[in-house]
Structure 1
Amino acid sequence: MFPSNPPSTDQHQLRNQRISTRIFIILLTLSLAILVLYTSLANVTHTVSISSPTIAQYSQLYSTYPQTLSCACTDISIDYDKFLQVNYTLHQICTSTFITDEWIGYLYNARPTGTLNSDDFRNAGLFIFQALNAFCQLSTQTISNQLTQFYSSQYVSASVTPLEVFQTQTQAFVSQFTSSVTKDFILSLSTIRKTTQSNALLNGQLTNYYLSGDISNNVNAYPLTYGDCGCKFSAVCSYELVIYNSTSKNVQFTVPGIYAGCYVIEALLQSNLQCFYNASCINEIQSYFTYYLSMNLTTLDTSLLVQFRKNSTIEEVVDELMVEKWNSSIVYDGYYNECQPSKCSYSYETRNNVIYIVTTVIGLVGGLVTVLKLIVPRMVRLIVFCIRRCTVNRNAVLPFIQLQLLVH
């Protein structure tokens, strides 16, 4: 493979040419073997793109290539209402008969004629349930207004968010919303209560102060007391409402859980609804109203209680925005359709196929042969030259060494 030009008959040159040919064949064979082995065992990364994939295609691709799948969104900002709905269930008192106009009208029309004490249920109950109705309406209105703002918020994502991550994020959004709206409501109510108490505002029902005039036409306000607590020093003085005998003014019945106090709101917040889970208690109350105006009432249902108890105070209920249970529903299809990914791409690692290996080897053979043809003969000549030099030097030194041995 390495003939001289012109052809030579020198045995040394012919031997060098034969050695070069053999070394060339050996190195070429080894190089090709290494090249084939490397290209067949090496891992390569393939990238695949899919245009406008459906959600079914995306789900299948994500289950197979979760680490490398990427789908860029056409619309990166999506309103919450496109994929998220927040529902809630108020405490059952807000859907019961006890806050309706019918019940409040019954309390007003069926009570006995004549003057009733301010702490008589037949008098104070009218205001208690009106205030309870107001709390239910206020809770509903507050949640509705906050939901309008919440739904107008936008979810921003440059690429499609996987379902599991999306669910976790949206649940966090809902939790943050419910916590925020509840705290804002409590803060507003607390501000109103503290303002009312600190300014000792006169209650319209005169349950904190009573007014009295003197001979000089001056009107004086005198604080009322509830037990050992006086409204002059505390706005939360209260005790349970009672029902008096119309003639003797003796207490005939104490309404369990319903309180009278300096302010209707403060008394209501300390009250609970345990009596209205009990048919006997309701019937006992109705027995002190006018019989010909009787009203069919249904007790509250204990099976509907989720986070509250029968004896939970109204303040505990109001502190949760009167919501018994929050529910949220996530529509992932809605999010995906709004995102509208125009293309999905994923990559995976695999081994080279036979065609790639053959073409790669064929493409490199020419260069490999050229390099070996340039290197091998020169390498052989260099090695032969070095061997000859070593042989000549050894032959020159050997007689001198023998002479030295003879002398000694």
Structure 2
Amino acid sequence: MPPFDMAYPYNFEQSGAIFKLLQSFCKLAKITINNALDIFYARQLVTPNLITEDLFKSLMISEGEYFKHVTPNRFSYLLEFTRQTMKVNQFIYGVNTNYYISMENHTGHVLVYIHPPLEWLSENYVFCSLILNPVCILETTLNSKDIHGVVIFVPVSGFYTSVFYVNSLLLTQLQCLYNQSCVNIICDGIHSNRNFAALSQTSRFPNNVTIDFLSKHLFAEFWTQNPDYMGYFKQCQPHSCSYTTNQRRTFVLLMTTVIGLSSTVSVILRFISPFIISFILKRCRPTQQTSSSEDTQQGGKYFFEKIF
């Protein structure tokens, strides 16, 4: 990488920070999803009655769609807040994209001048005024040589340079990294001693979409939902169930009820009648014996009175 005083902000050799920023975006998206899941799992489903399986699945699918809609918005709000904070605070980048730094030795003192750049002029002589267009965008290029050894500037497909790194990353497309020829051009341009293979197309997203588009989808390849009704039922299983029915009393129903009660009473009496009769007999026998004894005594007394 050339020193900063000789580097161009739109040179691909200065784009290493873009990939580090992309890595940070992926980590932040994962943290956002995990935090949203923690909040979602902390919620409770409260219903007055046990709901049916169809209604349960419908509710869970609706909640899942809401989750997929709200969570990316939270990430977008955070990203926009970061962009505006960097823009308002006017951070100075080391590659002089938003400010130009110069030094001057004056009477033994080093004077440092910080100038906001008024314009950009790319190697392909593309003019971009930072006054007229504060979000200047230039295509990132590579320094290469033709067959005659003349230095040429080769544009890197899908890579762009803006005043702020965040804007540069969001504008970037990664289709070059899926093309082996383009990857070879990059390796030759940065004088790499390693061979890199192009990425394989295994994503559901096209390879020509911007990082901004991917970030709005949280870099998520797919969302899965598996509503577990049995788990819900076991968690909310009632101890007992009861129900009431409203019926109009008819003659047939009344007769059925009377016959049912009569049959029940008959069966009960059949079993308890012997016990009742036995109990009554036991209670009556001592009384009869006592009465007979008293009559005998009174008769004897009357007999003796007659004799004497």
TM-score, with structure 2 as normaliser: 0.69
**Pick aligned residue for 1:239 from 124, 128, 138:** 138
Instruction: Indicate the residue corresponding to 2:113 in structure 1.
Output: 219
- 1:261-320 deviation digits (Å, cap 9, x = unpaired): 2112111111111112222211222233435x213424131x532xx3222111111122
Is the contact between residue 157 and residue 175 of structure 2 (CA under 8 Å) also seen in structure 1?
yes
Structure 1, unaligned runs of 5 or more: 1-110, 364-408
How has the CA–CA distance of structure 1 residues 347 and 287 changed in structure 2, closer, same or farther, with 3 Å as cutoff? farther
Tell me which amino acid in the other structure corresponds to 2:144. N
Which structure is higher in strand share? Answer: 1
2:92 aligned residue: 202
Trace 1:34-49 onto structure 2 (pairs within 5 A): none
Letter in 2 for 1:132: L
1:80-99 equivalences in 2 (<5 Å): none
Counterpart code for 1:240: E
Could you list the runs of 5+ residues in structure 2 that have no partner in the other structure?
261-308
Residue 140, structure 1, aligned to residue 30, structure 2: yes
**1:212–1:220 contact (8 Å) kept in structure 2:** yes
What secondary structure does 1:154 align onto? coil
Deviation of residue 324 (structure 1)? 3.0
Q: 1:248 deviation in Å?
A: 5.1
Contact 2:144-2:189 at 8 Å conserved across structures: no
The structural deviation recorded for 1:175 is: 1.8
**Whose relative contact order is higher, 1 or 2, with alpha carbons under 8 Å and at least 6 apart?**
1
Aligned to 2:44: 154
- The answer to whether the aligner puts 1:343 opposite 2:237 as a matched pair is no
Which residue of structure 2 aligns with residue 120 of structure 1?
Answer: 11
Partner residue, 1:295: 195
Count of aligned pairs: 247
In structure 1, what residue type is equivalent to 2:52?
Answer: P
Equivalent residues of 1:112, 1:290 under 8 A apart? no
- Residue 166 of structure 1 is matched in structure 2 by 56
Q: Is the 8 A contact 1:256 1:275 kept in 2?
A: yes
Which of residues 152, 157, 179 in structure 2 aligns to 1:250? 152
TM-score, normalised to structure 1, is 0.54
CA 1:296/1:270 → structure 2, altered by over 3 Å: closer, same or farther? closer
Change (3 A) 1:213 1:193: same
Q: For 2:30, what is the secondary structure of its paired residue? A: helix
Q: Percent identity?
A: 28
Shift of 1:354: 11
What CA distance in whole angstroms lies between the structure 2 residues aligned with 1:337 and 1:205?
Answer: 61
**What RMSD over aligned residues (CA atoms) do the two structures have, in Å?**
3.2
